Structure 1
Amino acid sequence: MDTKAEAPKKNNVNSFRPKKVADHEIIDSEGKVVGHIRVKPSGVLWSPKNGKDWFGVSLAEFAAFLENNGKKQKK
């Protein structure tokens, strides 16, 4: 009698890998690009329109800034 456990079968179907970042283009009321924001697990980055550089802060710095300077909002 063989008591070896069978190895789980591999998934042979292609699937999507979740993104590690979320990029958003910010536009004004006239539809013109203001800049780009990128949210990462480690922080938040900002690039002004036509910008080649990104400016970032850690998630802790971002949270502290908003808690100290932000206006309380409802979801």
Structure 2
Amino acid sequence: MKLQEFRRAIDDEFGPMGPVLMRDSVVVELGNRTPDEALAAGVPARDVWLALCRAEQVPPSRWYGAGRPDPRDR
């Protein structure tokens, strides 16, 4: 997952709350870091996306940002 795809997935899933989650949500799966901190530390965007989806209880059917096609396009 490219960083641009990651940012688009964050915007699509979380809307205006996306930047807040990126900055303020401490995710245990990311080593007790925020998504922004994890990305800065070199954690792949796909791993950050999946960890954030799990932490925010996003249904797996909407994890398309992890390289899956958007199901709305079918």
Interval of TM-score (by shorter of Structure 1 and Structure 2): under 0.3
The structure having more radius of gyration, on CA atoms, is 1
Query: Going by fraction, where is strand more abundant, 1 or 2?
Result: 1
Superposition TM-score, scaled by structure 1 size: 0.19
Superposition TM-score, scaled by structure 2 size: 0.19
